[in-house]
Amino acid sequence: MQKNTSQAQSNTNLLEKIFKLKENNTNVKIEALAGITTFMTIAYILVVNPNILGEAGMDKGAVFTATAIASGIGCFVMGLLANYPIILAPSMGINVFFTYTIVLGMGYTWQFALCAMFIEGIIFVLLTVTNVREKIIECMPEVLKHAITAGIGLFITFIGLVNAGIIKQGGAIISLGNIKSPVVVLSIVGLMIAATLLIKNVNGAFLISIIITSAIGMLFAIVPMPNGVIDLPPSIQPVFMKVFEVTKADIFSLDMLIIVVTLLFVNMFDSIGFLLGIAQRANLLDEEGKMPNVKKALLAESISTTTASLLGTSTLATTVESGAGIAAGGRTGLTACVTGILFFISLFFAPLFVSIPAQATAPILILVGFMMASSILRIDFSDYTDAIPAFLTFIIMPLAYSVADGIMFGIISYTILKLLSNKRKDVKLSLIILTLVFILKFALL
């Protein structure tokens, strides 16, 4: 007994040394509970991500394994390198961009999309270690950052509505789906469950909603039952290291450039915004309002993005779900590491996760889109030179079924309207160069 007590004390001292628990006014129990809470909130990604990337032709089982491993690694890298209670998981905006823009929209293979994300990750690492990542962010007008986030939100919501069957092709372009269909009714029920849990601030609202909706669907034989609960993880081989199955012509194409630049912008703005927002909520900012170790946090995200593409899943990013663990008291990287451990454990529950139907995950897409779309509130609609480009950005994304097109229209219109309105000081040279590149893209392709 004394030996076990001594061992436990030794482990506690080691964790204290690594994560500086007392300095951050926390302890192992609080951090562990915070890590579990965070996992409960983000676990839906193990269901949603394989479903979305599966639409691109990827093996869902392999993507499940890649998602769990990449997320687990990302959480550990963030926790150990930056010592923040912030987790990394596949970005809900980028995985949609991966499938519905790069693959289904532009007609490229999913291997091409993974390669683009691998290149982006390498560039992220270089930009972070050379301290120029923040400077690149400065060239994008603040109003377009909000518009991009809102546009991705609308795009994700649109995808969710289509997957739920609430919206379908028909009429002039689209129309309302068959609301009386059992699968559509199931999706609507799931949406109401998820929304109610979200309104009541229930920890793990999305995961609980997925479980309840799936159970209802299986109980009424609307969707099939799982083939099992516990099993060995699906092989990662179908998606592992496929970034290298791309030709040189594809790598050096203009489309690859456009996609990588788009990914860079979207990820940079999301990561900086999420990091600062979550840090403020956790009281991690210093007296000057700056975030200590922000470079390490950005480096952790960059390394994890590159690793994820090699494993076979879309870009990892800082998640808003980190806030759930922080609200539960998490203050150090131990929270992130506990979440990482749970991601690895989840590998052995693949049969349960991959059997979750789209009708249970579509409501989550709709609500995640809703939360992202709230960025519209930060746009000043009284200044037309800001508002019109912002509007074009967030409205074109869902209507053109392309995040990239929305961003390009936003940048081009912003630059032209500012120059024509004698507001040259609002347009940086780098933005003018991007505008010319995008105009050439539309003219030549």
Model confidence pLDDT, tens digit, residues 190-199:
999 999 998 9
H or E stretch at 391? helix 384-399
Q: How far is CA 368 from CA 81, 219, 373, in A?
A: 28, 27, 9
In sequence order, the β-bridge partners of residue 309 are none
Q: How far is CA 51 from CA 44, 173, 213, 344, in A?
A: 11, 25, 16, 19
Picking from 31, 32, 34, 11, the residue whose alpha carbon sits closest to that of residue 23 is 31
Looking at 312-383, list the stretches that DSSP marks H as alpha helix, in order from N- to C-terminal side. Answer: 322-327, 333-345, 350-354, 358-373
Helices (H) and strands (E) in the chain, counts: 20, 4
End-to-end CA distance of the chain: 73
CA torsion through residues 440, 120, 244, 313, sign: negative
Which tops the pLDDT comparison, 445 or 64? Answer: 64
pLDDT, tens digit, for every residue of 138-187? 677 888 888 887 888 888 889 889 888 999 887 778 899 999 999 999 99
159-173, 252-266, 312-326, 415-429 — which one is most confidently predicted on average?
Answer: 415-429
Query: Does the pLDDT of residue 346 top 80, yes or no?
Result: yes
Q: Is-contact 165 187, C-beta < 8 A?
A: yes
Query: Does the pLDDT of residue 414 top 90, yes or no?
Result: yes
Question: d(Cα 295, Cα 318) in Å, to the nearest integer?
Answer: 14
Query: Exposure string (b/e) for 232-245, b if CB count within 10 Å is 16 or more?
Result: ebbebebbeebbee
pLDDT, tens digit, for every residue of 23-56? 888 888 889 888 888 887 788 899 889 999 999 9
